[in-house]
Amino acid sequence: MGSRLENFFLTLLVLAMAAYVAAELRTAWTAFVSPAAAMGAEGEGREEKPSPSPDRDLDLEIEDDLVERGRLVFEAQGCLACHNLDLTGNAFAPSLDNVGMRRSAQWLREKMLDPRGKLPGTFMPPYPHLEDDELEALVAFLGSLTPARPSPDNTGEAQIEIPTDEQGNPRFTPDQVERGKLLFQQQGCIGCHVINGIYPGGPVGPNLTHEAQRRRSDEWQLQHLKDPLSVYVINGAEGATWVMPAYSNLPPEDLEALVAFLQSLK
Ligand code: HEC
Ligand code: HEC
C-alpha cells in the first residue's frame, strides 16, 4: 500500500515537472490522473474520466500585472496537477478557492519554499528554484484568490437531490439529509463555507454549493470530516497548521448525516 501510494505521488511530481518543460500539462494530467483515480485514490463512485474543467485554463479576469504574472507561474509550475480552483474534484490536494482569505503572503511564501515546514509529511513539492520575482508574483496571485474574485462555483443556487445507487435506490434518507443540513449550521460549518441559497456562510473554505459535483466518495467525505489532513498527506502531520477542524468527536450518525447532506448538494 505504502509503496504504491509513493509511486503514485512520485508520478505526480514527475508530471508537475514535465509540465514546466513541456507546457503539455492538461493532456498529461488527464492521462495520468484517470488511471490513478480508477486505482482507487478517490474511492468508488468516481467516474474514470476526469471532466475537463471549463476553468482549466484559468480564464480569470485579471487586471493587475503582478497577479497576471503569478497566474502564469502557477500554470507553468504545474500546480494544477494537484490543485484546482473550481469544481473538478481531485483527491490529491485541497482546492485553492479562497486561499487568499485564509493565508497571509508571508505564510504562502514560506509554504512555496518549504511545504513540509508548514506541514510535516506533506507530499506537496518545494519550489526553491523560483526566482524572487516569480515567487512574489505567485504569492500575489494566490493572495488574489478571495471572494472578491469568486470561483466558478460561487454562482447559482444550491439544489438538494439525494443520490441513488446503481439500482436507483436513494443512498440516504430525507431525514438524514435534513439532519445534516441542521448540523451544518449547528457545528459552525457555516462560519467558513458558503452554500448558495441555503447558508450565506463564510468565505474561508471552498464554496460547497455543488459539493456533489466534486464527486468525492462517501468514504472520502467521512474521512475528511474526521481528520481533514489524513486525506491529503501520507505521513501524518504533527504540530501542523491547518484550517478545517476535525470533527472526530461527533457521533457516527451525525457524521453520516453530514455526509448525506454534502453528497446531496447537486
Ligand atoms: C504533487 C502535488 C502538489 C503540487 C504539484 C502542488 N501542491 Fe500545493 N498542496 C498539495 C497538498 C497535498 C497540499 C495539502 C497539504 C499541505 O498543506 O501541504 C497542498 C497545499 C497547498 C497550499 C496550502 C493550502 C492551505 O490553505 O493550507 C497552497 C497555498 C498550495 N498548496 C499551493 C501550491 C502551488 C502554488 C503550487 C505550484 C507552485 C502547488 N501547491 C503545487 C499538493 C501539491
Ligand atoms: C474554520 C473554517 C472551517 C470550518 C469551521 C469548516 N471547514 Fe470545511 N473546509 C475549510 C477549509 C479551509 C477547507 C479546504 C481544505 C480542506 O479540504 O481541508 C475545507 C474543506 C471542506 C470540504 C472539502 C471540499 C472538497 O470536496 O474538496 C468539505 C466537504 C467541508 N470542508 C465540509 C465542512 C463541514 C461539513 C464542516 C462542519 C462540520 C466544515 N467543513 C467546517 C474550512 C472550514
Q: What is the pLDDT of residues 106-144, one digit of tens each?
A: 999 999 999 988 888 888 999 999 999 999 999 999 998
Q: Are both 2-152 and 156-263 of the same fold? A: no
Residue 87: predicted pLDDT: 53
| CB 12 less than 6 A from any atom of ligand 1 | yes
Q: What is the mean pLDDT of residues 21-28?
A: 38
The mean per-residue pLDDT over the stretch 182-190 comes to 94
Has residue 42 got a pLDDT over 60?
Answer: no
Q: What is the pLDDT of residue 92?
A: 76
Assess whether the C-beta atom of 116 lies below 6 angstroms from ligand 1. no
Bridge partner list, 160: 265
Is 216 a pocket residue for ligand 2 (Cβ < 6 Å)? yes
**Least distant ligand from the CA of 235:** 1
From ligand 1's centre to the CA of 138, what distance in Å? 13
Res 94 pLDDT > 70: yes
Tell me the ligand closest to 70's alpha carbon: 1
Alpha carbons 34 and 43: distance in angstroms, whole number:
13
- Average pLDDT over all residues of the chain: 77
Nearest CA to ligand 1 atom 38: 79
The region, left, alpha or beta by phi > 0 then psi within -120 to 50, assigned to residue 98 is: left
CATH match for 2-152 among 1.10.760.10, 2.160.10.10, 3.30.565.10, 3.20.20.80? 1.10.760.10
Judge whether residue 26 has pLDDT over 70. Answer: no
Report how far ligand 1's centroid is from the alpha carbon of 248 (Å): 24
Q: Indicate which ligand has the atom closest to the C-alpha of 205.
A: 2
| Residue-wise pLDDT tens digits, 63-90 | 789 999 999 999 999 998 888 776 555 6
Model pTM? Answer: 0.74
* pLDDT grade for 25, boundaries at 50, 70 and 90: very low
CA of 222 to the centre of ligand 2 (A): 12
Please report where in the chains the cell 494566490 appears, as a residue. 142
Q: CB 36: neighbour CB atoms within 10 A?
A: 18
Specify the residue with its C-alpha closest to ligand 1, atom 18: 122
Q: Which atom of ligand 2 is nearest to 229's Cα?
A: 18
How much of the chain, in percent, has pLDDT values that exceed 90? 41
- Is the pLDDT confidence value at 256 over 80? yes
- pLDDT above 70: percentage of residues in the chain: 67
Question: Residue 168: its pLDDT value, please?
Answer: 95
CATH code of 156-263, in short, is 2.60.40.420
Q: Where are the domains of the chain?
A: 2-152, 156-263
Any idea which ligand is nearest the CA of 73? 1
pLDDT, residue 197, reads 86
Q: What is the SS3 string spanning the chain? A: CHHHHHHHHHHHHHHHHHHHHHCCHHHHHHHHHHHHHHHHHCCCCCCCCCCCCCCCCCCCCCCCHHHHHHHHHHHHCCHHHCCCCCCCCCCCCCCCCCHHHHCCHHHHHHHHHCHHHHCCCCCCCCCCCCCHHHHHHHHHHHHCCCCCCCCHHHCCCCCECCCECCCCCECCCHHHHHHHHHHHHHCCHHHCCCECCCECCCCCCCCCCCHHHHCCCHHHHHHHHHCHHHHCCCCCCCCCCCCCCCCCCCCHHHHHHHHHHHHCEC
Residue nearest to atom 26 of ligand 1 (CA): 99
Cα(172) to centroid of ligand 1, in Å? 33
Q: Give the Å distance between the CA of 225 and the centre of ligand 2.
A: 8
